[in-house]
Amino acid sequence: MLDKNAIGRASPPTLNEVEKGAIRRFAEAIGDYNPIYYDEEYARASGYPTIIAPPTFPASFHSAADLRELLGVGIKSLLHAEQGFDYERPIFAGDRIYVSTRVADVSERQGMSGKMDIAVIEDEGRDEEGNLVFRARRTLVVRAAKETP
Amino acid sequence: MPARKLYFESIRVGDELPALAKAPVDRVQLSRYAGASGDFNPVHVDEIYAKSVGMPSVYAPGMLVMGMLGQLISDWARGGQMRRYNVRFIKMVWPGDTVVCKGRVSNRHGTGGRYYVEIDLWAENQRGELVMKGSAQIQLFYSLEDENRQRSGQAPLVIEVPRESLAPPAPTTASSPASSPGDVPSASDEDDEDDEASDERRGGATSKKTAPREKPAAKTATLPSARKAKK
């Protein structure tokens, strides 16, 4: 069972600068050639100030979070079970976004092969004025390295 | 030239998104995604490592497949703004697998000049097995007129559109795909991500909104209900 005290533990915000090349490479890796991710003019004609990032782009952001520290356990394996995003606005090339990570929940669920430890990790991205840009939630099935007494 | 845009007025509950068949996943793509996302977990890029931990090969990160399903939405909802996007990973995607992304409008409503559609989403592999399912909420302009007004700084077009929902699919097809061994444990037991929406969906189900289901999808068996039969 993971330590309930981990809930609320958070990492300090880390700056992520959204670069055009990074957006392009991310969209290419998905195989998504929508010009809105590549072509400045097209993006403007579509009503945006510049090119935007694909919806799952926050997956590429860095945060100072170390899951082992946040959860307080050594981790043997992690399984990504669910992912969610809430968006306040699109992410644009040139954005400077501060990302912080927090343990939103830890719990135990009955799985098909016994009890599983579940951790819900929430990332929050804010712009330089402090306005919320997105929230991301990962639900992870955590196998700790050692049983904690 | 920008592509045609999608407006709220032309969307109906039950509309199906044009299916998106992605090119087969290969190891080069897994490397590219690792580089682009910064996630270098060796189970996705190092064949020798993956085998050493008991996997038959490297496999695609769930986030790559979520990205593919995201493409389905943004290809369809051009001009719309994604507000929410949730998925559950169900089955692993291996090199050589072909992911087919599908979706259907499950809900639409508008109030106070803001218009939203909700979409049920799912992805299948080449064997028709469900690998991922989820939902998204998109905000759209009501019409070209609404967009022109808002872009010129005027108030939005306000048309009250009561919530319309798909009736929840009958819980008869028990082909819940999350049951083969080795799958991601479906953490579905009691997940109440969106109680508000589900209540409203249930409310909507009592109205006559069963009509859009007349089109039986070829693969009804794998059509994921937004929520499983819930008691």
Domain of A122: which CATH number? 3.10.129.10
Domain contains B120: yes
Identify each DSSP E strand in B40-144 by its residue range. Answer: 81-89, 100-111, 114-124, 130-140
Please name the residue that has the structure tokens 């400045």: A40
Helices A20-30/B62-76 angle, 10° precision:
100
Domain contains B119: yes
- pLDDT, residue A3, reads 86
Domain contains B88: yes
Please name the residue that has the structure tokens 């490297």: B58
Cβ atoms of A32 and A93 within 8 Å: the answer is no
pLDDT at A52 over 90: yes
Domain contains B121: yes
Cβ atoms of B31 and B133 within 8 Å: the answer is no
Q: Which residues of B touch A79 (CB under 8 A)?
A: 184-185
Domain contains A41: no
ipTM: 0.94
Residue A64 in contact with partner chain B when CB distance is under 8 A: no
Domain contains A51: no
- pLDDT, residue A29, reads 98
What domain range includes position A86?
A: 4-18+62-144
CA A12/CA B148 separation, integer angstroms:
41
Domain contains B20: yes
For the beta carbon of residue A93, count every other beta carbon within 10 angstroms.
Answer: 21
Q: What is the CATH number of the domain that holds B199?
A: 3.10.129.10
**Is the C-alpha dihedral spanning A22, A27, A31, A36 positive or negative?**
negative
* pTM score of the predicted model: 0.82
Share of chain A above pLDDT 90, in %: 73
Domain contains A24: no
Domain contains A94: yes
pLDDT at B186 over 90: no
The number of domains in chain B is: 1
Residue B121: φ, ψ to 5°: -130, 145
pLDDT tens for each residue of A5-44: 999 999 999 999 999 999 999 999 999 999 999 999 999 9
Angle at B100 (CA atoms; ends B95, B106), nearest 5 degrees: 140
- pLDDT, residue B206, reads 36
What domain range includes position B83?
A: 8-25+60-167+192-210
Q: Which of B89, B90, B147 to mutate to test the interface with A (most CBs of A within 10 A)?
A: B89
- pLDDT, residue B182, reads 42
The number of domains in chain A is: 1
CA B131/CA B122 separation, integer angstroms:
8
Which residue of chain A has the CA closest to B21? Answer: A31
CA B214/CA B194 separation, integer angstroms:
27
Name the least confident of A2-6, A49-53, B59-63: A2-6
Domain contains A70: yes
CA B20/CA B72 separation, integer angstroms:
6
Please give the average per-residue pLDDT across B182-209, as a whole number: 39
Domain contains B180: no
Angle at A43 (CA atoms; ends A40, A48), nearest 5 degrees: 115
Residues within 8 A of B (CB atoms), A 119-138 only: none
Domain contains A27: no
Domain contains B148: yes
pLDDT tens for each residue of B135-149: 999 999 999 999 999
- pLDDT, residue A144, reads 80
**In this structure, which amino acid lies at residue B41?**
N
Cβ atoms of A80 and A122 within 8 Å: the answer is no
CB pairs < 8 Å spanning A and B? 132
Domain contains B179: no
pLDDT at B218 over 70: no
Cβ atoms of A31 and B26 within 8 Å: the answer is no
Which residue of chain A has the CA closest to B79? Answer: A46
pLDDT tens for each residue of B89-123: 999 999 999 999 999 999 999 999 999 999 999 99
